[in-house]
Structure 1
Amino acid sequence: MAVSSLSLSLVPRTFKDKLNEPRWSESPRASELPLHHAIACSCDRTTGFDEEISGNCKRRPLLLGVVGSLTASLLPASSLLAQEMPANYRAFVDLSDGYSYYYPSDWREFDFRGHDSAFKDRYLQLQNVRVRFIPTDKKDIHDMGPMDEVVSNLVKNIYATPNQIANIFDTQERTVDGRDYYTFEYELRSPNFASCSFATIAVANGRFYTLTVAANERRWRRVRNKLKVVADSFKVLDI
């Protein structure tokens, strides 16, 4: 099935669901793990891949001590992420929605409409990472089709708007813990603006996951390697 034929309706989330789900960030030192629930109000989850604007839904973290049953449920993910955490990065883990990734430690969480989580540079808002997912009946990313075909369709027909020219620079495939991922670098150029991004996609838990990390084209050479760490860190977890 072509990617474009997928429903773009995101898995619905309710306030009650978000209130009870474990979502947390950990610092580079595994011995100092600030754990938190992220409480989010319900917001529009029907946005298509091509709409990328900020929303008004506010996610408010509550800091919790490393105690009780919450700690027991988070320890496996914590130990996994702490094994190879690079310096100057933090880890975001969403055990309820089944994914994790690293982000630069000086970035701040923000709301990005249609996305499940997002962090941005405190000064450069266009330098950011965000994650979203949509339902799928596929079991693995290979079920979506050949890598080049899937990536081309996503970038040119879904990520790019009608007035943008899309260029794909590189595509890579990797397998981690038996799960397959496609990671690709691309540019979207319009008459007055251009941005560059890495995206990593995967299929698991009846969902098609997408992580995108982007920056202004003028800064891309300076931050490319830093953002590639984020793209390569994305993992889906069994839920």
Structure 2
Amino acid sequence: MMASLRNSPAIHWTLGNPNPIASFQVPQLGLQKPAFFSCFRRGLPFLVRAELTPAASTSTRKDIMGRRQVLVVGPITTWVSLLFSTSSSFAAEAKKGFLTVVDKKDGYSFLYPFGWQEVVIEGQDKVFKDVIEPLESVSVNMIPTIKEDIRDLGSPQEVAQALIKKVLVPPSQKSKLVEATEHDVDGKAYYTFEFVAQAPNFTRHGLGAISIGNGKFYTVTTGANQRRWEKMKDKLHTVIDSFKIFNV
């Protein structure tokens, strides 16, 4: 089985790679950049201008000014109301304490904990990490494949073990597959797995999910320092469980 995985179009590209795509390397690689949050206005309030003649009375001026304020403030109030309403509806779609990533070009989405920042790492499509606890991160990677289903590569245990040994964990670290399972979402198979990687000065507890779609082999991994695993594991499971592929 391992030989077939090594020759698989979905796996072989990483074998012998001197720069593994492991999310463990997030603290050592990449250029940090701030996360930006954008808000787009659907429309701008318009102004109605009233010209007063010299003969206009004081009361007439006040009446016109009052109506002008209504004309201006009305659309602004409506816009603010719509803005907060829209923001609330978007927030309701995501889980509390998490932000949503939707990549419409590559066809995937997932959640990540609020406060993590996006970083740029060569070879990775998306990476977010905690700036205080750098071992807490999530990364997404894709490679082309002719396979159409993750099950074509083998069982969850076989595929996860090959991925961990050959891609996710550097040769200098010891690794252990804790468990690997299969689940189905909207007719698409996903493999999820849990593993531990031990380096000389730290141990990282990780989770991953893999699937095939859009002619690509998708891998998403997340994790935390072993000393923070009990505190972070529920959040990290949410990240992995939220990963979905859609057709593009």
Normalised TM-score (structure 2) = 0.68
**What's the CA shift for 1:60?**
7.9
* 2:75 matches 1:103: no
Residue of structure 1 equivalent to 2:156: 147
Matches within 5 A, 1:51-130: 52=25, 53-56=28-31, 63=38, 65=40, 85-130=94-139
The equivalent residue for 1:8 is 13
CA distance in 2, matches of 1:211, 1:50: 10
Alignment match, 1:137:
146
Paired residue total? 192
In structure 2, the CA distance between the partners of 1:200 and 1:137, relative to structure 1 (3 Å rule), is same
1:17-71 Cα deviation digits (max 9, x unpaired): xxxxxxxxxxxxxxxxxxxxxxxxxxxxx95435835234969858362659xxx
In 2, Cα distance between equivalents of 1:91 and 1:65: 17
Distance 1:152 1:66 in 2: 48
Correspondence for 2:178: 169
Sequence identity percentage = 36
Specify the SS of the correspondent of 1:114.
coil
The separation in 1 between residues aligned to 2:153 and 2:119, in whole angstroms, is 30
Could you say which structure has the larger radius of gyration? Answer: 2
Q: Distance in 2 between matches of 1:62 and 1:231?
A: 23
Distance 1:222 1:188, change over 3 A: same
Task: Measure the CA separation in 1 of the matches of 2:134 and 2:100.
Answer: 20
User: CA shift at 1:109, angstroms?
Assistant: 1.4
Q: Separation in 2 of the partners of 1:95 and 1:138? A: 21
Larger relative strand fraction = 1
Instruction: Kindly indicate whether structure 1 or structure 2 has the higher relative contact order, using CA contacts under 8 Å at least 6 residues apart.
Output: 2
Could you list the runs of 5+ residues in structure 2 that have no partner in the other structure? 44-89
Bigger helix fraction:
2
1:202 is matched with which residue? 211
| CA shift in 2, pair 1:153/1:95, >3 Å | same
Contact 1:4 1:154 survives alignment (8 Å): no
Q: Say if 1:234 and 1:225 are closer, same or farther in 2 by CA, change over 3 A.
A: same
Q: Are the equivalent residues in 2 in contact too, given 1:2–1:150 (CA < 8 A)?
A: no
Structure 1, unpaired ranges of 5+: 10-45, 69-80
| The one of 223, 230, 240 aligned to 1:231 | 240
| RMSD between aligned residues | 2.9
Aligned-partner residue type, residue 2 of structure 1: S
Q: Output one character per residue of 1:117-172: Cα deviation in whole Å (capped at 9) or x when no partner.
A: 11111321211111011111100111111211111111123222222111111212
TM-score by length of 1: 0.71
Letter in 1 for 2:21: F
